[in-house]
Chains A and B, each alone.
Chain A
Amino acid sequence: MLRFKTVFLTILFSLFVISGCSNSDSAPTPVTATATPAAATATPAAATATPAAATANSNLNDRNDSFPKTITDLTGDSFVLDGIPKNVVSISPAATEILFAIGAGDSVIAVDSFSNFPVETESLPKLGFQDANTEVIVSYGADLVITTGGHEELTQQLKTLGITTVLLDGAVSIDGIYLHISLLGEIMGLENNAEVIITNMRKQIGAIERKLEDVENGPSVFYELDPGLWSVSSDSFVGELLNILKLRNIAADSASSYPQMNLESIIAENPDVILLADFQYGENSESVKARPGWEVISAVQNNQILEIRDADVVSRPGPRVGNGLELIGKLIYPDIFD
């Protein structure tokens, strides 16, 4: 009984984590390296090479310092900030990316174990994820903590302890990401940078949508999160990306956001494309081909088993979402995207 529970929880938990994060040993991000100018502003690591870098690396003098100010977070709760937070702890990989993207990276003093982007996070203390220790956060002298879905209790506790804590839900739409970015911009006194990031993201995503204008009906796709056949429905963040790319997600109508698919239903739906978001966990086109029964699926027959080499960019609701769209777009429509 205990074993059943442990195994089940391990699976669920890893899923939960995959939905926001992935392997920290990921290869250097290929997308960033080949990023378009629009994408570059959203990724400060690459941004230093472009003119837009100035906004992302703005110094404190550019900051809007009309403090104290009252901030209303996305749940409707208000709090008063006396000044720009100087010791920020982020327990959300997406929030970490946003903080660095808007130029607030210098204030980040500790992150969760899955925050692996940008490279500056490597030198920061890692506080775990599900069980980020409250005492550790307090002893770092945190004056702002950013959490994500699943940290409701921790958030409540930190607020009780008098530490400004903002929960940015992990299950958001792209519009939700814009709200997260502008909220963090407001809190960090970097509204202008946040606006620039959002504008660039809109441009990047708009350009992708225009490229796909002539696509009537994209291929049907099975998005594999895990060799256990866990996938994403249209309610999930990744599901929205598939939608923008005009892909017909075979798991779109599932009851839960992260459904476990039945092999029979995958064969019956006969997807044109299989997207492997579990490439970093050792799955690849060869291993999928070798699975018994899969040879009848048209994606397998037509060699359309596509490996997502950096799943973080795709699954993390942060400033690199445009890069994630391009990453999948290039895999599926190489003619349109190159």
Chain B
Amino acid sequence: MRYLFNNFIESAYIKIFVALLILITISIFSLSQGYADIHFSTMVKILWEMINSNDHSQISESSKLIITEIRLPRLIASIIVGGALAYSGATYQGIFRNPLADPFLLGIASGASFGIALLVISPWEQNLYIGILTPFVAFVSSGITIVVVLLLARKAGKFDNYSIILAGVALSAIFSAFTSFILLTGGENARPIFGFLFGGFNTITWLKVFLCTPYVLLGGTVIFLLGHRLNILQLDDDQAQNLGLDVEKTRIILLAAASLIAAAAVSMAGIIGFVGLIVPHMIRLIVGSDYRLLLPLAAIFGATFVVLTDIIARTIIEPQEIPVGIVTAMVGGPFFIWLLSSQKRISM
């Protein structure tokens, strides 16, 4: 550790504070953006009334509905999903010491969506219980995916960086193919999978937010408590072991936690690519690779990135909207190419 402990803490707090300020500012801006022409002051008034649960004012019912039941759950969902994707992406990259690790390239997102597709065409009636089951099924199927990836990538007790990504890409292709097969042959029952594969927040409701958020909080807490160990994991496994870290156990716990929040994000908003990959790299370029700082900043900037792209998704071709996954790929793709071709070596 080059940093003096106190200095690090102090400068980290300032950076996190600034990042949070940016997120809050953009979030408030996001609430004021949309098709309906709701003045900023009206928006603030509606929020104020919501917090104090009084409604004596002359504001129209539809404006209230738009702010409290459409824009607000949508904002909260994009914060949670963006944060979860970037947080889990940063964790995966740390666990595998691999700059390409992210929920999508590792096959976790495809695994989760395959599980959800199975649930959609299951003979059970689609109701609240299925809604509660969704994030759980997504977690189980993504968990199976990651175990298979690990088994395939393990050579002589060590993980091979290339094999991990190759296995992930292969599994991802296999699961996508099965999901597509279900979509093609499932008939009418399979129709809801469409909306899901495109990814987005248009049909988000408070209920969905409440059903998925606990998983994100649970996994997030585990990573928050153990994330600093990722710094030690960047060393050689033997060295890490010598420093007193149970390498294997730490890896498995962090993997499970990261997969839990990635699966919850997928069940909330479908497939939204590139966030888990590019946001942690952006943060690395700005503040370096200390995971104590990298993890929280990745979560905050992941949230900010998705809130921003969602504003684009729902306003750029008004009155229509486009799936936010298209926007994140359009913005994230070029950035990723630039990252690959740039001279700057990303140190893990």
| Chains A and B belong together in one complex | yes
Which positions in A face B, CB cutoff 8 Å? 1-2, 4-5, 8-9, 12-13, 16, 110, 113, 125-128, 130-136, 138-139, 141, 149-150, 152-154, 156-157, 160-162, 169, 171, 235, 255-257
Q: Are B65 and A131 closer than 8 Å at their CB atoms? A: no
Given A134-B70, A135-B66, A154-B202, verify A255-B188 contact (CB < 8 Å). Answer: no
Given A139-B36, A150-B194, A153-B195, verify A131-B187 contact (CB < 8 Å). Answer: no
Of B36, B70, B183, B319, the contact of A161 (CB 8 Å cutoff)? B70
- Which stretch of B21-29, B94-102, B168-176, B238-246 is in the interface? B168-176
Q: How far is the CA of A8 from the CA of B180 in the complex (A)?
A: 8
Chain A contacts of B66 at CB under 8 A? 135, 138-139
Chain B contacts of A9 at CB under 8 A? 197-198
Q: Are B191 and A12 closer than 8 Å at their CB atoms? A: no
Q: Are B35 and A131 closer than 8 Å at their CB atoms? A: no
Is there a chain A Cβ closer than 8 Å to B290's Cβ? no
Chain B contacts of A152 at CB under 8 A? 126, 191-192, 195
Q: Are B188 and A169 closer than 8 Å at their CB atoms? A: yes
Of A113, A133, A160, the contact of B35 (CB 8 Å cutoff)? A133
Q: Are A139 and B35 closer than 8 Å at their CB atoms? A: yes
Chain B contacts of A153 at CB under 8 A? 192, 195, 203
Chain A contacts of B169 at CB under 8 A? 1
Given A135-B34, A161-B69, verify A130-B195 contact (CB < 8 Å). Answer: yes
Is there a chain A Cβ closer than 8 Å to B62's Cβ? yes
Which has the most chain A C-beta neighbours within 10 Å: B66, B207, B273? B66
Q: How far is the CA of A133 from the CA of B203 in the complex (A)?
A: 9
Q: Are A138 and B321 closer than 8 Å at their CB atoms? A: no
Count class of interface residues, chain B: 35 or more
Which positions in B face A, CB cutoff 8 Å? 34-37, 62, 65-66, 69-71, 104, 126, 169, 172-173, 176, 180, 183-185, 187-188, 191-192, 194-195, 197-198, 200, 202-205, 207, 273, 314, 317-323, 329
Q: How far is the CA of A235 from the CA of B204 in the complex (A)?
A: 32
Q: Are B180 and A150 closer than 8 Å at their CB atoms? A: no
Chain A contacts of B36 at CB under 8 A? 135-136, 138-139
Q: Are A4 and B188 closer than 8 Å at their CB atoms? A: no
Known: A135-B36, A139-B66. 5 other contacts (CB 8 A): A110-B319, A132-B320, A141-B62, A171-B187, A255-B185
- Chosen A-B contacts, 30 in total, with CB atoms closer than 8 Å, are A2-B273, A4-B173, A4-B176, A8-B176, A9-B198, A12-B194, A127-B320, A128-B320, A131-B321, A133-B318, A133-B321, A135-B34, A135-B70, A135-B314, A136-B35, A136-B318, A139-B35, A139-B36, A149-B188, A150-B194, A152-B191, A156-B205, A157-B204, A157-B205, A161-B65, A169-B188, A171-B188, A255-B185, A256-B185, A256-B187
Given A235-B187, A256-B185, verify A131-B176 contact (CB < 8 Å). Answer: no
Chain B contacts of A156 at CB under 8 A? 203, 205
Chain A contacts of B192 at CB under 8 A? 150, 152-153
Nearest opposing residue in chain B for A160, CB measure: B205
Chain A contacts of B172 at CB under 8 A? 1
Chain B contacts of A16 at CB under 8 A? 194
Q: Are A12 and B62 closer than 8 Å at their CB atoms? A: no
Chain A contacts of B173 at CB under 8 A? 1, 4
Q: How far is the CA of A234 from the CA of B37 in the complex (A)?
A: 48
Of A2, A130, A141, A171, the contact of B329 (CB 8 Å cutoff)? A2
Given A1-B169, A2-B273, A136-B35, verify A256-B184 contact (CB < 8 Å). Answer: yes
Q: How far is the CA of A113 from the CA of B176 in the complex (A)?
A: 29
Expressed in whole angstroms, the minimum distance between the Cβ of A260 and any Cβ of chain B is 8
Expressed in whole angstroms, the minimum distance between the Cβ of A41 and any Cβ of chain B is 31
Q: How far is the CA of A113 from the CA of B69 in the complex (A)?
A: 25
Q: Are A135 and B187 closer than 8 Å at their CB atoms? A: no
Q: How far is the CA of A256 from the CA of B191 in the complex (A)?
A: 13
Chain A contacts of B35 at CB under 8 A? 133, 135-136, 139
Chain B contacts of A128 at CB under 8 A? 317, 319-321
Chain B contacts of A138 at CB under 8 A? 36, 62, 65-66, 70
Expressed in whole angstroms, the minimum distance between the Cβ of B186 and any Cβ of chain A is 8
Expressed in whole angstroms, the minimum distance between the Cβ of B177 and any Cβ of chain A is 9
Nearest opposing residue in chain A for B200, CB measure: A131
Of A1, A12, A131, A162, the contact of B323 (CB 8 Å cutoff)? A131
Q: Are A12 and B71 closer than 8 Å at their CB atoms? A: no
Q: Are A134 and B203 closer than 8 Å at their CB atoms? A: yes
Of B37, B62, B69, B203, the contact of A154 (CB 8 Å cutoff)? B203
Chain B contacts of A135 at CB under 8 A? 34-36, 66, 70-71, 314
Q: Are A113 and B202 closer than 8 Å at their CB atoms? A: no
Q: How far is the CA of A114 from the CA of B36 in the complex (A)?
A: 23
Chain B contacts of A12 at CB under 8 A? 180, 183-184, 194
Q: How far is the CA of A133 from the CA of B33 in the complex (A)?
A: 13
Expressed in whole angstroms, the minimum distance between the Cβ of A160 and any Cβ of chain B is 5
Q: Are B314 and A133 closer than 8 Å at their CB atoms? A: yes
Expressed in whole angstroms, the minimum distance between the Cβ of B70 and any Cβ of chain A is 5
Nearest opposing residue in chain A for B206, CB measure: A160
Q: How far is the CA of A240 from the CA of B197 in the complex (A)?
A: 30
Of A127, A130, A139, the contact of B194 (CB 8 Å cutoff)? A130
Chain B contacts of A257 at CB under 8 A? 187
Chain A contacts of B200 at CB under 8 A? 131
Expressed in whole angstroms, the minimum distance between the Cβ of A252 and any Cβ of chain B is 15
9 closest pairs, A vs B, by CB? A128-B320, A139-B36, A153-B203, A133-B321, A136-B319, A136-B35, A150-B191, A157-B203, A131-B321
Q: How far is the CA of A251 from the CA of B218 in the complex (A)?
A: 50
Chain B contacts of A255 at CB under 8 A? 185
Q: How far is the CA of A157 from the CA of B321 in the complex (A)?
A: 16
Given A12-B183, A256-B184, verify A126-B320 contact (CB < 8 Å). Answer: yes
Q: How far is the CA of A9 from the CA of B195 in the complex (A)?
A: 11
Given A2-B329, A138-B66, A139-B62, verify A131-B202 contact (CB < 8 Å). Answer: yes
Q: How far is the CA of A149 from the CA of B180 in the complex (A)?
A: 18
Expressed in whole angstroms, the minimum distance between the Cβ of B166 and any Cβ of chain A is 11
Chain B contacts of A161 at CB under 8 A? 65, 69-70
Q: Are B191 and A131 closer than 8 Å at their CB atoms? A: no
Expressed in whole angstroms, the minimum distance between the Cβ of A64 and any Cβ of chain B is 28
